[in-house]
Amino acid sequence: MEPARESIVRHFELHLERLKGILGLATEEDETSRPLAEIERDLSRLEAECSSNGTLLPLIAMAKRFGLTEPECDVLVLATAPGLNPRWRGYAEQATRYGKLDVAFAVEALEKQGVGLYDALALFEQNASLRLHRLIQVFTLGRAEESQLLSHRLQTPMRVAHALVGREVLDENISDFTKLQHPTGSVDSIVLIKGQGEAVLKQVRQWCMEHDFPAGAGRGRALMVHLRGGPGVGKTSLARAIASELGLPLLEVDSALLQSLPQHLAASSVEELFSSASFLGALLCFESVDLLASGGAAQSRLRRASEEFSIPVILIGEAELAESSGLVWRSQIEARLAAPEVDEREAIWKRVLEHRKVTSDVEPGLLANQFSLTGAQIVNATEDAHLRSAAPLTQDLLTESSSYQLRADLSQFAKPRSTKLTLDDLVLPPSEKDSIKEIVAACGQRAKVLHHLGFRKRLDYGTGIVSLFSGDPGTGKTLAARIIAEAVNMSLYQIAIPSIVSKWIGETERNISQIFQRARASQAILLFDEADSLLATRTEVKDATDRYANMSTNQLLQEIEAYEGIIILTTNFEQNLDSAAERRILFRVHFPYPGVEERAELWSRLLPEEARPKDSPIDFESLAEYYELSGGHIKNAILRAAYSAMDQGSAIDTDMLAAAAEKECRAIGKLVRRGW
C-alpha cells in the first residue's frame, strides 16, 4: 500500500477506535482499549503530518467541502463502519434491535460526547447536510416498529464509504453503464473549427470559478453544455479534454444502456449519477443524449436533477434537442461540431502520423483532399493500416485503409451498381470513348489537382466532378458510369428517382439533402438516371405546385454544386435540363445511336464464345446492317435467342438471332429492313 493510502486508512481506523472507546464497545476478540486521550493525540499527529506532506485526508476534505461539523463527521464514520469493518458489523449486531446499524446507535455516540438528543436527531433530517448531499442513507424496511426516526436504518453509499479509505468506486446501480475516468490531453490537441473548443472550455471554466466547483458543494442549477454533431467529429474528445484542462474526473454515461433500464430504475439512476458527480467533483457527461431526450422517466428526472445539483453537465448528441424534452432552455451552452474541412483533416492526419513510421511518399494533404473523414475515422484508418503491415506505412496502404472507413447507408434511395467490364468493353466512337477516358483520368487525379496545384485554396465550391451523359435509351450511358466507377475503384450508387420524389411538401428536398449527406460519408459516385425528371427547366410560378417543383430543382442544384465527389447525370432529353445546371457540368458526352460497325462489334462482344455454334460462324455484320438496335436492345435479342435455343435443344445460329432481333425491333416500334 502506498504511504498516502496508508495514512488515509490509518486516519479512518483511528476515528473508529475513538468512537469504539466512546461507546464502550468490545467483543471477546478485542484487544484492550487505549485511552481516548492517546487516540486523539495520534489523530492530531497524523493530521499534522499529512498536512505538511500534502496528503489529502478524505474525511477532512469532506468536512470542509460539505461544511460538516465534528458530530456529523462522527455520524459519517459510524454509518460507514459496518460496511468496511467486519468487527463493527458485530458491534452493530450486538447493540441494535435488528442487528443493523440504526439512528439510535449513532445518537447514543453523540450523546456520550455531550450533544443533546434533539440536536443529534436534527442531523438526520431530510434537509440536514449529511442527507442533503447524499453522504448517508436513512431508510426503513417498512416494519411498524421502525416508524420512528430512531429505529431507521443507517448506512453510506458505496462511493462515500470507499472514498473515506482512499478509493474511487461507483455505486453498483450505475457502474454497468458509467465509466469514471481521469482524462489527459488538452483542447488544443483536438482539431476543431478554429476557437470552438477553446470557447466552450472558457465558458465552463468561468462557471466553475463562479460556483466554486468542485471545492464547494452548492445546490442549485447545473451548467448544461450541449455538444452536437455527426459521429466522429470530436464531441467526446472535447468533453474529455475539458475535464482534463479543468483537472476534473469525468463520469461518462452510456445513455443507450441507461434508457434500456425499467423506467423507475432509469429515473433513480439519473439522480444517482448527479449525486455521484457532485460528490466526486466530476464533470458529468451523457453520451447519445438524443435517446434520453426522446421522453420517459429518465428524461423527466434529468430535468429535475439539473435544477437541484450545481455541477457541470455535458450532453452529447447528433441532433438538436427537441423543444418537448424540456432540455433546450436548460442548456446554457451549445456547440455544433461539424465534420473537419480539408485543412483540418490535414492537421489531424499530421498529428496522428506524427509518431508512426511512414515512408517518404506519404502525403497527409493528399489524403485529406481525397477522403472526407472525421477525426475518429482518420485514427481508425491509421490503426487499420498499422495492423495490416508491420513495415512503415505507405501512401497506398493509408489510401486503402481510408477507403475502408467510408460507410454510409444509401439503400433507402439508391442501389449499388458494379461491373467487371473495363473501358475496352465499351463500344463507342473514338471521340466519345476518349471523353470517357478523360473523365476517368479526372476522377483519378482530382485529389492531386486540388492539393498539389493549389486549386483547393482558390475554389471555395464546385470542386466536384459532374458529368452529363445524353443519348437514346440503350446506348450505354449507365454502363459507362459503372465502368468509370470500376476504373477508379469507387462505389457507384444509382439513385432511384421515385424514392426521392414525394407528394408531401418539403419531403423531396429533405430526401435530396439526405442523399448527399450520406454520400459525403461514403465518397461514392452518384448516378442520377433520367436526371431531367428532377432537373427540368424551372417554370414560371403560377401556383403552389410550380413553386414546390422549383424548390426541389433548386435544392438539387445547390447540393450538386456543394458536393466534392463525383456525380454522373444521364438523360434522354438534354434539351429539357434547366439552364442553371449547364455551368455545373464539367464533362458532356453524347452517346450516339450505334452505327453498323458499332452494332456488329456489340453483337460480337455480347454473345459469349460458349454460346456460339462450332460448325458455322455467326454473321454479325448482316445482323448489324439489317437491324438498327442499340446495345441494350441487342442484349435483349441475344437473350431471347438463347432462351429459345435452350428450349429447342439447338445451338444459337444467325437465323435464330435474326428472328429474335426482328421481334425486338417490332417491340420497340423499329422498322425492319426486308431482304434477310
Which CATH code is given to the segment(s) 596-668? 1.10.8.60
* 198-233: b (≥16 Cβ within 10 Å) or e: eebbebbeebbeebebbeebeeeebbbbbbbbeebb
Domain ranges within the chain, ordered by starting residue: 1-165, 178-337, 342-408, 423-591, 596-668
Name residues of the chain where pLDDT drops below 50.
538, 541, 543-544, 546
Residue type, 493: Y
Residue-wise pLDDT tens digits, 351-380: 899 889 999 999 999 898 888 888 888 989
Asked if domains 178-337 and 423-591 share a fold, the reply is: yes
In the prediction, which pLDDT does 190 show? 76
How many of the other CB atoms lie within 10 Å of CB of 448?
A: 14
How many of the other CB atoms lie within 10 Å of CB of 13?
A: 14
d(CA 106, CA 108): 5
**Which of these CATH numbers, 3.30.1330.100, 3.40.30.10, 1.10.150.130, 3.40.50.300, describes 178-337?**
3.40.50.300
- Looking at domain 423-591, does it have CATH number 3.20.20.60? no
Which CATH code is given to the segment(s) 342-408? 1.10.8.60
d(CA 301, CA 636): 65
d(CA 559, CA 578): 15
The burial class, CB within 10 Å (0-12 / 13-18 / 19+), for 143 is exposed
Residue 148: which residues within 8 A CB-CB, separation 6 or more? none
C-alpha 256: how far from chain center: 13
In the prediction, which pLDDT does 29 show? 58
Using DSSP bridges, classify how beta strands 137-139 and 153-155 pair: parallel, antiparallel or unpaired.
antiparallel
* 265-300: b (≥16 Cβ within 10 Å) or e: ebbbbbbbbbbbbbbbbbbbbbbbbbbbbeeebbbb
The backbone torsions φ and ψ at residue 410, rounded to the nearest 5 degrees and listed phi first, read -105, 10
The conformational region for residue 675 under phi > 0 = left, psi -120 to 50 = alpha, else beta, is left
pTM: 0.71
